[in-house]
A and B are shown apart, each in its own frame.
Chain A
Amino acid sequence: MIDPLNALIIAAILTAISSWLFWPEKGLFWRWQQARQMTRRVLREDALKHIHDCEYHDRRPTVKSLAGSLRITDNEVSELLSEMQDHELVTFEGDQVKLSLQGRSYALHIIRAHRLWERYLADKTGYPEADWHSKSEHYEHLLTPADAEALANELGHPRYDPHGDPIPTAAGELAAIERLTLSNFPLDQPGRITHLEDEPEAVYAQLVAEGLHPGMSIRVVEVTPQRIVFWANGDEHILAPIIAANISVDTFSVEEAPEPVPHDHLNELKPNESVRVIGISKAIRGAERRRLMDLGILPGTTITAELRSPAGELTAYQVRGALIGLRDEQAALIDIEQGRL
């Protein structure tokens, strides 16, 4: 029999090696898996998307802009473009690169896949908002048109992605939407956020961190060259104009504009207190939103906090005669009146 000490040492070494390789998240193997994704096809598809994006916004795609967006060198961009020309995805008019018909429908497929996947992540999974874009950047390259169609089926043919961008149809039609942004929105007008631009990522992350999302009702109260002060669903926000420009806004017609009221969140409700619900935040979407509504959590519903889980982070509420446990982060997205009943 092996000496127990030796056996333990061998086992310890083996464990050390395998945890170095396979430790959840930080192990070499899992990192390698994530890094592996960058392939030729991905580059090509990202280039198509960039060119399409430029054309959609009436900008000129250049070698420089491509190099910046794809994070590769100018030389590699030229190589990539000529390869794409060979595949009849782009054409050149002088030094101006344009999508071919085939290239456009390819690009639209990628955009469709991307936005559908974002919609999927938003509606059907619990991934945080800040991850949607980067995850979809990966998955857009994996979905075939048939997959995208199946996904659209499953999601009930959504028209917009969770940021408010239109999703191209399978036939390759893309609705054009006109944009007012928060930076040029008139003072003291009721408005509604229709879209958050998800690039650049740093800016988007800041918007998400502010708790902003499409569907919020807003009112701009102060505009200076340094800052824009506005109310969104009853909370005050301050943003630099350059960042506010990434928020698209729509005007409300006066009668449908709800007054943004100051409110509390359900997780602030103390045990045995009752309160009326104002609404479910737009940040809860899809199946989860439907589930909450089916349970009867609707504007005007009276809700009472009853029990607190001994392990924390979960409270049971009395809703229309049933006792329903909701986690704190979910309760935080349900708006309630400030006055208790």
Chain B
Amino acid sequence: MTNDEILKTAEALRWEVGGDFHESLVENIYTNAAQLADRAISYPDKPPRFDLDRSIDRLVTSRVWGFPIMLLLLMVVFWLTISGANVPSAMLATLFLEIIYPFLKGLAASVGLPWWLDGLLIDGVYLATGWVISVMLPPMAIFFPLFTLLEDFGYLPRVAFNLDNFFKKAGAHGKQALSMSMGFGCNAAGVVATRIIDSPRERLIAIITNNFAMCNGRWPTQILVASIFIGGLVSAQWAGLISALAVVAITLLGVLLSFVVSWGLSRTVLRGEVSTFSLELPPYRPPRIWQTIYTSLIDRTLVVLWRAIIFAIPAGAAIWLVSNITVGGTSLAEYFINWSNPLGILVGLNGVILLAYVVAIPANEIVIPTILMLTTLVLGASGEGTGVMFELDSLKDTEVILRAGGWTLLTAVNLMLFSLIHNPCSTTIYTIYKETGSKRWTLVSAFLPVVMGFAVTFLVAQVWRLLGG
């Protein structure tokens, strides 16, 4: 009896058993399961109703309260992250930049390190790493546990349940809400999470649009710029709230954009009908708070931080090199800044910001330090700061430098927009390539947002100038 003969017999028998075979099979298993369960289970009172779960569900998916609760939770998570991260961030910055940095410089001088090695290692690599840790670690250590608590509690599927119809109208899969939520933590994680979507077409849409979920690495930029320029518009007691609102608004704009882009894709290159799906709403489980905090610190915070450090090291070296290698008395950085400045100005940004985004492709977290460093470089300020990434202690100092660099409210708004709408970081791009296995879709995912970012900032800049002069 050869193997092929078995298959032939099977093929022939398949005609006999009929097309309903699978159906009767599944029915049979469930019937068996039901009988077994029936024999094993008894209820001393009456069958359970899971009333608490239902009451929570009625509230978080209610017509009146469903969406406000979602927004409120988003606000609370942001606000806790913003306000909680301030102090530890400043402390870490003090440690890395005011205590360890001078110590390392002194050490280098005493062992007689050549100036270029000292610059590359300490002013470049060390400062970049120190900056990334002090900027990223505190907000992540607050955000990830909070988010993980919501996730463990079982709230995310309810978000998908509430938003489903919008995704459907956009031609996307309902579970895209889940991968988008994961993207708020880290886009690379969000891209991996799209595996829950079976249809390849809808999965690609979810992957390409995941970038519009504003990830952790972009918040420092959003928060800092919002605090200085938008919070500064109102009196001090309202500044925190207004800045948080601005960040939430940008986040919601990202959600809106992911609907719009999904809609466009599903009607052009990724044409097709919405596939049906079933969304399981798991029972709520009270999260175990300490364990969640521990695991999310180990599993997520440190993993993401480690990745950022790995990328910050070469980036730090690159920044130092482009600022310090000079051709004809002008550094490479200045060449690029002068060259790209007209484009930057046209879209309401400037050459410094554009260069910062090129340098920050590996990790979005280093955008702000790069901008500050390059701005002082262009201003020709001498002393410690030249060609060196550094952190300024107070928002006020940062503001002084930025205003001196020609920054206005427009620059700030457009930087926030561009930070939302630009290419994903290199880790995400690599993840997209691994997940799709396609160079073409990887390129689309990388370039589509950049083009959109320029278009949006351009429009805002022109309208702004027309109205405001």
Given contacts A11-B459, A125-B272, A325-B279, contact A314 B30 (CB under 8 A): no
Q: In the assembled complex, how far is the CB of residue B244 from the closest CB belonging to chain A, in whole angstroms? A: 24
Q: Is A203 an interface residue (CB 8 A)?
A: no
Contact status A157-B11, CB under 8 Å = yes
CB-contact partner of A313 in B62, B164, B199, under 8 A:
B164
| Chain A residues with CB under 8 A of B162 | 309-311
Q: Is B54 an interface residue (CB 8 A)?
A: yes
Contact status B54-A312, CB under 8 Å = no
Contact status A311-B26, CB under 8 Å = no
Interface residues of A in 289-312 (CB under 8 A from B): 290-296, 298-299, 301, 306-312
Contact status A2-B275, CB under 8 Å = no
**Bound complex: CA A125 to CA B168 (Å):** 15
Q: Is B295 an interface residue (CB 8 A)?
A: no
Residue of B whose beta carbon sits closest to that of A301: B30
Interface stretch of the complex, out of B123-131, B138-146, B210-218, B263-271: B263-271
Q: Is A252 an interface residue (CB 8 A)?
A: no
Q: Is A127 an interface residue (CB 8 A)?
A: yes
Contact status A298-B279, CB under 8 Å = no
Contact status B27-A298, CB under 8 Å = yes
| Chain B residues with CB under 8 A of A322 | 280
Interface residues of A in 1-38 (CB under 8 A from B): 1-2, 4-5, 7-8, 11, 22, 24-25, 27, 30
Q: Is B43 an interface residue (CB 8 A)?
A: no
CB-contact partner of A324 in B26, B279, B458, under 8 A:
B279
Q: Is A288 an interface residue (CB 8 A)?
A: yes
**Bound complex: CA A22 to CA B269 (Å):** 11
| Chain B residues with CB under 8 A of A292 | 278
| Chain A residues with CB under 8 A of B166 | 311
Contact status A159-B15, CB under 8 Å = yes
Residue of A whose beta carbon sits closest to that of B7: A157
**Bound complex: CA A1 to CA B348 (Å):** 11
Q: Is A326 an interface residue (CB 8 A)?
A: yes
Q: In the assembled complex, how far is the CB of residue B220 from the closest CB belonging to chain A, in whole angstroms? A: 30
Interface stretch of the complex, out of B89-97, B296-304, B360-368, B460-468: B460-468
Interface residues of B in 305-319 (CB under 8 A from A): none
Residue of B whose beta carbon sits closest to that of A288: B276
Q: Is A126 an interface residue (CB 8 A)?
A: yes
Q: In the assembled complex, how far is the CB of residue A52 from the closest CB belonging to chain B, in whole angstroms? A: 23
CB-contact partner of A125 in B58, B264, B268, B275, under 8 A:
B275
Q: Is A128 an interface residue (CB 8 A)?
A: yes
CB-contact partner of B268 in A30, A128, A284, under 8 A:
A30
Given contacts A2-B346, A125-B273, A314-B164, contact A24 B263 (CB under 8 A): yes
Interface residues on B, range: 35 or more
Contact status A22-B268, CB under 8 Å = yes
**Bound complex: CA A322 to CA B279 (Å):** 11
Q: Is A261 an interface residue (CB 8 A)?
A: no
CB-contact partner of A11 in B161, B273, B458, under 8 A:
B458
Q: In the assembled complex, how far is the CB of residue B23 from the closest CB belonging to chain A, in whole angstroms? A: 7
Given contacts A24-B267, A25-B267, A306-B57, contact A126 B276 (CB under 8 A): yes
Contact status A295-B278, CB under 8 Å = yes
**Bound complex: CA A284 to CA B27 (Å):** 17
**Bound complex: CA A125 to CA B266 (Å):** 14
Q: In the assembled complex, how far is the CB of residue B66 from the closest CB belonging to chain A, in whole angstroms? A: 4
CB-contact partner of B272 in A127, A311, A326, under 8 A:
A127
| Chain B residues with CB under 8 A of A323 | 57, 280-283
Given contacts A126-B273, A309-B164, A330-B276, contact A296 B30 (CB under 8 A): yes
**Bound complex: CA A91 to CA B9 (Å):** 38
Q: Is A329 an interface residue (CB 8 A)?
A: yes
Contact status B345-A4, CB under 8 Å = no
Q: Is B398 an interface residue (CB 8 A)?
A: no
Q: In the assembled complex, how far is the CB of residue A195 from the closest CB belonging to chain B, in whole angstroms? A: 13
Given contacts A25-B267, A312-B165, contact A324 B281 (CB under 8 A): yes
Q: In the assembled complex, how far is the CB of residue B172 from the closest CB belonging to chain A, in whole angstroms? A: 12
**Bound complex: CA A299 to CA B24 (Å):** 10
| Chain A residues with CB under 8 A of B461 | 4
Given contacts A7-B462, A308-B61, A313-B168, contact A299 B273 (CB under 8 A): no
Contact status A290-B22, CB under 8 Å = yes
**Residue of B267, B281, B282 with most chain A CB atoms under a 10 A cut-off:** B281
Contact status A5-B165, CB under 8 Å = no
Q: Is A327 an interface residue (CB 8 A)?
A: yes
**Bound complex: CA A296 to CA B30 (Å):** 7
Contact status A298-B26, CB under 8 Å = yes
| Chain B residues with CB under 8 A of A311 | 162-166
Q: Is B63 an interface residue (CB 8 A)?
A: yes
| Chain B residues with CB under 8 A of A295 | 278, 280
**Residue of A27, A125, A287, A323 with most chain B CB atoms under a 10 A cut-off:** A323
**Bound complex: CA A294 to CA B466 (Å):** 60
CB-contact partner of A126 in B11, B275, B462, under 8 A:
B275
**Bound complex: CA A301 to CA B268 (Å):** 41
15 further A-B contacts with Cβ under 8 Å, apart from A126-B273, A293-B27, A327-B277, are: A1-B345, A4-B462, A125-B201, A215-B19, A298-B26, A299-B27, A310-B62, A310-B63, A311-B166, A314-B279, A316-B61, A320-B30, A324-B278, A325-B281, A327-B168
Binding site for B on A (CB under 8 A): 1-2, 4-5, 7-8, 11, 22, 24-25, 27, 30, 125-128, 131, 157, 159-160, 215, 284, 287-288, 290-296, 298-299, 301, 306-314, 316, 320, 322-327, 329-330
Sample (12) of A-B pairs whose CB atoms are under 8 Å apart: A1-B345, A4-B463, A24-B268, A25-B267, A127-B272, A288-B275, A309-B61, A309-B161, A309-B162, A322-B280, A323-B280, A330-B278
Binding site for A on B (CB under 8 A): 11, 14-15, 19, 22-23, 26-27, 30, 54, 57-58, 61-63, 66-67, 161-166, 168, 174, 198-199, 201, 263-264, 267-268, 272-283, 342, 345-346, 458-459, 461-463, 465-466
User: Which 10 A-B residue pairings sit nearest by Cβ, starting from the closest?
Assistant: A24-B267, A325-B279, A311-B165, A310-B66, A126-B275, A4-B465, A126-B273, A323-B281, A4-B462, A293-B26
